[in-house]
Amino acid sequence: MPRMAPHPRDRPRGEAASPVTPHRLTVRVYYEDTDFSGVVYHASYLRFLERGRTEFLRALGIAHRGTFGNVGADGFHFVVRAMTIEFLKPALMDDELCVETHPSATRGASINMMQKIRRLGEVLLTAKVRIAIVAGGKVRRIPAGILAKLKASTGAGPHV
Amino acid sequence: MPRMAPHPRDRPRGEAASPVTPHRLTVRVYYEDTDFSGVVYHASYLRFLERGRTEFLRALGIAHRGTFGNVGADGFHFVVRAMTIEFLKPALMDDELCVETHPSATRGASINMMQKIRRLGEVLLTAKVRIAIVAGGKVRRIPAGILAKLKASTGAGPHV
Amino acid sequence: MPRMAPHPRDRPRGEAASPVTPHRLTVRVYYEDTDFSGVVYHASYLRFLERGRTEFLRALGIAHRGTFGNVGADGFHFVVRAMTIEFLKPALMDDELCVETHPSATRGASINMMQKIRRLGEVLLTAKVRIAIVAGGKVRRIPAGILAKLKASTGAGPHV
Amino acid sequence: MPRMAPHPRDRPRGEAASPVTPHRLTVRVYYEDTDFSGVVYHASYLRFLERGRTEFLRALGIAHRGTFGNVGADGFHFVVRAMTIEFLKPALMDDELCVETHPSATRGASINMMQKIRRLGEVLLTAKVRIAIVAGGKVRRIPAGILAKLKASTGAGPHV
């Protein structure tokens, strides 16, 4: 279902090319995502962003169930610690949206991700998301294997 | 938050009085519950019904976390096995709805619940819901303590 | 995003072949779809089913915005009037599910749709859904153009 | 359903008293709000915050349907333009949470609201939300009647 390859119309208009190509996921807007004002409900975008992060991690070989399974005392979970979101333009029923995700910084216990939602190239929403890894109810250092994958994906060191 | 006592306007109109008073929970319709057609999204009613069942069980002293906690190998969960729903009239943004719940039959491994959603007495939705208890991935007989509470709430034997 | 072509692993196991091939949509399970019991929340399946119906209708050339836009006095909406659902097995985080949809009967003012949700061919859920068309707050006869498309999709007359 | 009066256990611990008492709404955590990691899904908090803002506005006499109805060319809507959220501690199934809302600044075309979610007084989440009023697809100045009500609620002028 996720479309991993960049799509021509997902390309930014009039923006300086980023040195790192973000991960892209296409999502469709359904009834469930809208509200009675006629457009997409604001919290629905957080679901779209989370799908984008999940597919970004899956593309790196980091699955949620399994590595971070809900079973056992040492199961890890990614948790959102902070978000800053700008809602620029509304999405509508039936829209096909592109969720862009790329890590901007990885530190010992947290990952920053920059995300955008576009429609036909136009940016509808920008978000900066701080993620942490939690195990046994406590924040943990990012395991070395995951850190290496994230660094490789940013094409840079841990403190980009 | 839940309003347990029956409210005058929650009373049925032109219906034969039931021998058993159902549990009643008031829920408010918010933006999140509606869709772009202007009314409540059909799956939102299932969330309302589930809140009603949760509060009905809580009123019987059966809490979800705790007795049925997600911890330990012997944690129980209620799961929905089947539903038959009639959507009669739409609810709207800002509506205050009454969710009625009462068990109609309890057998060894399943509980039937009859539920209604009303607005000012008028029935908007009826549902028949079959619930089972699952532990360790398998359907289990209803524990005796819970069975006794449910029987008491129906004012009748187990095969009503 | 929707994958319209049947996928080998979406094919039923040990079921008599239906004379009509259902529409198939692949959906992925994300965090948003699960609950603390560890599996997919029961109302999430209704969202999956609704996505399946939306894509089924879109494949017939019946878009929700546009033909059934939220604008104007004569805008139509599909509404769910009744559902009967059997929840057979739970879906899990990260699962890739196949939603099958085909109309079983179209009458003057309502459409019955049979739907299934499968994982690797195994049926997790079956649903029978009765849909009506509403305009201006009232149930309407199905417009002739839509009725023709639905009949063609069932390969049969209106009272299948 | 909303409990407007401050509740003893909703009172902050070790915080300087604010000159303005925030609006308080109690919300219960249900199955629908949690995810398979065992705690409340991060986007669910945005639904709680939106309920809090809706009840805050209702308490001021500003209803969503009606004044801001979805009917007519001059219907107004509140839209979220930006949010900054800190997720401090997770909420759990069955928790009773208190959503605090108070406007921190009202300008010509936007309202800032400070919101907190507490459990037994402990702050689980803080949010700063910028709201605008939209009509006919364009951002509008806040109508004088609404501005007056908001100012009165902050006990201060428009540029607090």
Split at pLDDT 50, 70, 90, the class of C72 is: very low
Do C37 and A11 meet the contact criterion of CB atoms below 8 Å apart?
no
Closest CA to B6 of B49, B50, B59: B59
Query: Nearest by CB to A34, which of B36, B43, B93?
Result: B36
CA-CA-CA-CA dihedral for C47, C50, C51, C52, to nearest 10? 130
Which token pair is B77? 């969960």
Q: Rg (Cα) of chain B, in Å, rounded?
A: 16
Instruction: Tell me the chain D residues in contact with residue B31 when contact means C-beta distances shorter than 8 Å.
Output: 50, 54, 64
Q: Is A72 on the interface with B (CB under 8 A)?
A: no
DSSP state of D144: H
Distance CA D84, CA D128 (A): 5
Query: Nearest by CB to A38, which of B36, B39, B93?
Result: B36
Catalytic residue chosen out of the listed positions B10, B33, B35, B94 = B35
With CB atoms and an 8 Å threshold, state whether C31 touches D41: yes
- Structure confidence at residue D7 (pLDDT): 47
Query: Nearest by CB to B38, which of A32, A36, A92?
Result: A36
Residue where the block lists tokens 């309920």: D51
Nearest-CA residue of chain C relative to B83?
Answer: C85
> What is the torsional sign of CA B133, B136, B138, B140?
negative
Distance CA A135, CA B154 (A): 43
Does residue C70 surpass a pLDDT of 50? Answer: no
Distance CA A75, CA C110 (A): 48
Closest CA to D29 of D47, D12, D53: D47
Split at pLDDT 50, 70, 90, the class of C155 is: low
Which token pair is D22? 């925030």
Which token pair is A147? 């850190």
Does residue C43 surpass a pLDDT of 50? Answer: yes
Distance CA C91, CA D159 (A): 51
Our CA angle for A37, D82, D10, nearest 5°, is 90
Q: Tell me which chains share at least 3 CB pairs under 8 Å with chain C.
A: A, B, D
Instruction: Tell me the chain D residues in contact with residue C36 when contact means C-beta distances shorter than 8 Å.
Output: 31, 34-36, 38-39, 92-93
The secondary structure of C137-158 as a DSSP string is TEEEPPPHHHHHHHHHHHTS-T
Q: Which residues pair with A84 in a beta bridge?
A: A128, D84
With CB atoms and an 8 Å threshold, state whether B79 touches C90: yes
With CB atoms and an 8 Å threshold, state whether D26 touches B1: yes
Which of B29, B31, B36, B92 to probe the A interface (max A CBs under 10 A)?
A: B36
Which of D46, D68, D138 to probe the A interface (max A CBs under 10 A)?
A: D46
Distance CA A145, CA A138 (A): 19
Q: Is D80 on the interface with A (CB under 8 A)?
A: yes
Which of A35, A46, A93, A95 to probe the B interface (max B CBs under 10 A)?
A: A35
Q: How many angstroms separate the CA of residue C35 from the nearest CA in chain D?
A: 4
Do A100 and A21 meet the contact criterion of CB atoms below 8 Å apart?
no
Do A26 and A3 meet the contact criterion of CB atoms below 8 Å apart?
yes
For chain D (160 residues), the mean pLDDT of every run of 10, in chain order, is 44 51 96 93 98 94 60 66 97 96 88 97 97 84 85 57
Nearest-CA residue of chain D relative to B43?
Answer: D32
What does the pLDDT average to over C61-81? 65
Tell me the three state secondary structure of residue B29. coil
Cα D75 to Cα B134, C146, D133, distances in angstroms:
49, 32, 10
Q: Is D5 on the interface with B (CB under 8 A)?
A: no
Q: Is C5 on the interface with D (CB under 8 A)?
A: no
Q: Which residues of chain B have pLDDT under 70?
A: 1-19, 64-75, 154-160
Nearest-CA residue of chain A relative to D49?
Answer: A43
Distance CA A97, CA A106 (A): 27
Query: Nearest by CB to D31, which of C32, C36, C93?
Result: C36
Which domains occur in chain C, in start order?
A: 8-154 (3.10.129.10)
Lowest-pLDDT range of A143-147, B12-16, B103-107, C41-45: B12-16
Our CA angle for A130, A40, D31, nearest 5°, is 65
- Structure confidence at residue B32 (pLDDT): 97
- Structure confidence at residue C14 (pLDDT): 46
Closest CA to D89 of D40, D20, D18, D44: D40
Active site residue B94: no
For chain A, percent of residues with pLDDT exceeding 90: 52
Split at pLDDT 50, 70, 90, the class of A5 is: very low
Q: How many angstroms separate the CA of residue C31 from the nearest CA in chain D?
A: 6
- Structure confidence at residue D64 (pLDDT): 65
Tell me the three state secondary structure of residue B60. coil
Distance CA B109, CA B137 (A): 14
Q: Rg (Cα) of chain C, in Å, rounded?
A: 16
Distance CA C34, CA C32 (A): 6
Which token pair is C147? 């009725």
- Structure confidence at residue D9 (pLDDT): 46
Q: What are phi and psi of C108, to 5 degrees?
A: -55, -45
Query: Nearest by CB to A41, which of B32, B38, B39?
Result: B32
What does the pLDDT average to over A41-52? 98
- Structure confidence at residue D134 (pLDDT): 84
Tell me the three state secondary structure of residue D69. coil
Query: Nearest by CB to D35, which of C35, C43, C92?
Result: C35
Q: What are phi and psi of A55, to 5 degrees?
A: -70, -35
Do C86 and C109 meet the contact criterion of CB atoms below 8 Å apart?
no
Residue where the block lists tokens 């689980």: D124
Rounded to two decimals, the ipTM of the complex is 0.82
User: What's the one-letter identity of residue C15?
Assistant: E
Nearest-CA residue of chain A relative to D79?
Answer: A42
Distance CA D60, CA C153 (A): 53
Nearest-CA residue of chain A relative to D83?
Answer: A85
More confident residue, B20 or A123: A123
Q: In terms of DSSP H, where are the helices of chain D?
A: 42-59, 144-154
Q: How do residues C97-145 score in pLDDT, each as one tens digit? A: 999 999 998 888 899 999 999 999 999 999 999 999 888 778 888 888 8
Q: Is C41 on the interface with D (CB under 8 A)?
A: yes
Distance CA A99, CA C30 (A): 15
CA end-to-end distance (rounded Å), chain D: 31
For chain C, percent of residues with pLDDT exceeding 90: 52
Distance CA A61, CA C28 (A): 16
Which of D35, D40, D42 to probe the A interface (max A CBs under 10 A)?
A: D42
Do A101 and A52 meet the contact criterion of CB atoms below 8 Å apart?
yes
Instruction: Tell me the chain D residues in contact with residue A37 when contact means C-beta distances shorter than 8 Å.
Output: 70, 77, 79
Q: Is D38 on the interface with A (CB under 8 A)?
A: yes
Question: Which stretches does DSSP call E strand in A4-70?
Answer: 23-28
Q: What are phi and psi of A152, to 5 degrees?
A: -60, -35
Distance CA D31, CA B51 (A): 8
Distance CA A57, CA C56 (A): 30
Nearest-CA residue of chain A relative to B92?
Answer: A36
pTM: 0.86
Q: Which residues 92-151 of A have a C-beta within 8 angstroms of C?
A: 92-94, 96
Closest CA to C78 of D46, B39, D31: B39
With CB atoms and an 8 Å threshold, state whether C84 touches B84: yes
Nearest-CA residue of chain D relative to C94?
Answer: D36
Q: How do residues A55-96 score in pLDDT, each as one tens digit? A: 999 998 887 665 444 444 456 778 999 999 999 999 999 999
What does the pLDDT average to over A9-37? 76
